Amino acid sequence: MRLSLLRRRAARPDVAGVVGTARVDARTKDLTKRLQPGDVAVIDHLDIDTVAAEALVAKRPGAVVNAAPSTSGRYPNLGPGILLAAGVPLVDGVGRDVMVRVAEGERVRVDEGRVYLGDDLEEQVAEGTRQTDATVAVAMEEARAGLSTQAGGVRGEHHGLPAPRARACCSTASACPTSSRGWTAARCSWWSAGTTTARTCTRCAPTCASTSR
């Protein structure tokens, strides 16, 4: 009875937003194994990277609800833009309570930045930021500015000399710590030739100094 009621509700044209079956998992790569077209992906993924975003897009979800900020500002990650370009609504920063308040397989409605449950899908259980092309562009610009400031600070600490590359982590494109988050030599406009024969991602030098890659 309850299932049939929800189906009738979901089919009504006056229901605002996206209605779908929730798939809940803090590990995005595990969630995508269960995700079906039209489902609502409920994740807890700080700084959605290219690999995660492309895996989600391939499953054609109705929407993505992220407990964490999809872009924290630590670095310019491409994931949110990939989701939006594919037409997937993205609501992020709703808080970790959503991971327990929304059950796997439960029918949910996502409207703007709000998440609803209940027989009539009118019980609001979470609220975050509905990402748009404009908000993602602003977040990316702020992240780039932050990296530029960090890089400048590190150079200053070394008397104007380029920051050292710990463990030669930037010696190749594949070794650059940002490559695992979707940045490659072809995609990253910041990738430039260093003063030696090795290539160095000049903007990620502060990150390199703290990585074991």
7-46 pLDDT per residue, tens: 444 445 568 999 999 999 999 999 999 999 999 999 999 9
Measured CA to CA, the distance from residue 14 to residue 37 in angstroms comes to 22
* Beta bridge pairs of residue 191: 201
Per-residue pLDDT reduced to its tens digit, 71-113 = 998 889 999 999 999 999 999 999 999 999 999 999 999 999 9
> Bigger pLDDT: 183 or 13?
13
Residue among 37, 38, 53, 47 nearest 68 (CA): 47
Model confidence pLDDT, tens digit, residues 140-171: 999 888 776 665 554 444 444 444 333 333 33
* Residue 89 CA, distance from chain mean position: 12
Rounded to two decimals, the pTM is 0.66
158 CA to centre of own chain? 34
Report how many helices (DSSP H) and strands (DSSP E) the chain contains, helices first: 7, 10
Domains plus CATH for the chain?
A: 2-134 (3.50.30.10), 162-213 (no CATH)
